[in-house]
């Protein structure tokens, strides 16, 4: 009889796949928001926050560090991409690229802070409740 893993140890996805999923989810939220409203709204903020928690849940323990740095990087890259292709979505069209990126990240800073806090808290809780990572890695290698 096999025993089910507790939900804090359930994430088994490699870090690269989790990053790819995060990018896909966030770009989908951007596309939906821009197509429906023409700019980023609270819908994007809620999707970003939920995606950060989802990524922290899905990643395997040895790739925690990659996901721990992902939310601010993901927000900055998405806003920079939007500032390049459709500046009016994240800032004033007359703004420079740097100003549009800073303005876009600042505008969605609450979502970034909430998503990052949830991500780090969930990773920390999984790490605390999951036992010894060194022992787990040595079992995988043998």
pLDDT at 12: 84
pLDDT at 1: 43
Is the torsion defined by CA of 22, 86, 114, 106 positive or negative?
A: positive
CA distance 102 to 76: 9
pLDDT at 101: 95
CA distance 114 to 108: 10
Q: Do residues 55 and 21 touch, judged by C-beta distance below 8 A?
A: yes
Phi/psi at 58 (nearest 5 deg)? -85, -25
pTM: 0.83
pLDDT at 81: 95
| C-alpha 9, offset from chain centre | 19
Q: Which residues of the chain have pLDDT under 50?
A: 1, 8
Query: Coil, helix or strand for 13?
Result: strand
Mark residue 39 as left, alpha or beta (left: phi above 0; alpha: psi -120 to 50; beta: remaining). Answer: beta
Residue entry with tokens 């989908």: 28
Query: Coil, helix or strand for 59?
Result: strand
pLDDT at 10: 67
pLDDT at 36: 95
């Amino acid at each position: 009889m096999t025993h089910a893993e507790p939900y804090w140890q359930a994430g088994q996805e490699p870090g690269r796949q989790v990053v790819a999923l995060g990018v896909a989810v966030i770009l989908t939220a951007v596309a939906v928001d821009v197509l429906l409203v023409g700019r980023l709204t609270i819908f994007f903020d809620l999707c970003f926050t939920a995606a950060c928690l989802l990524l922290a849940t899905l990643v395997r323990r040895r790739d925690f560090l990659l996901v721990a740095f992902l939310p601010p990087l993901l927000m900055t890259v998405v806003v920079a991409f939007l500032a390049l292709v459709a500046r009016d979505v994240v800032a004033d069209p007359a703004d420079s690229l740097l100003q549009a990126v800073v303005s876009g990240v600042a505008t969605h800073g609450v979502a970034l802070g909430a998503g990052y806090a949830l991500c780090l808290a969930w990773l920390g809780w999984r790490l605390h409740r999951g036992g010894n990572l060194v022992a787990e890695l040595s079992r995988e290698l043998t």
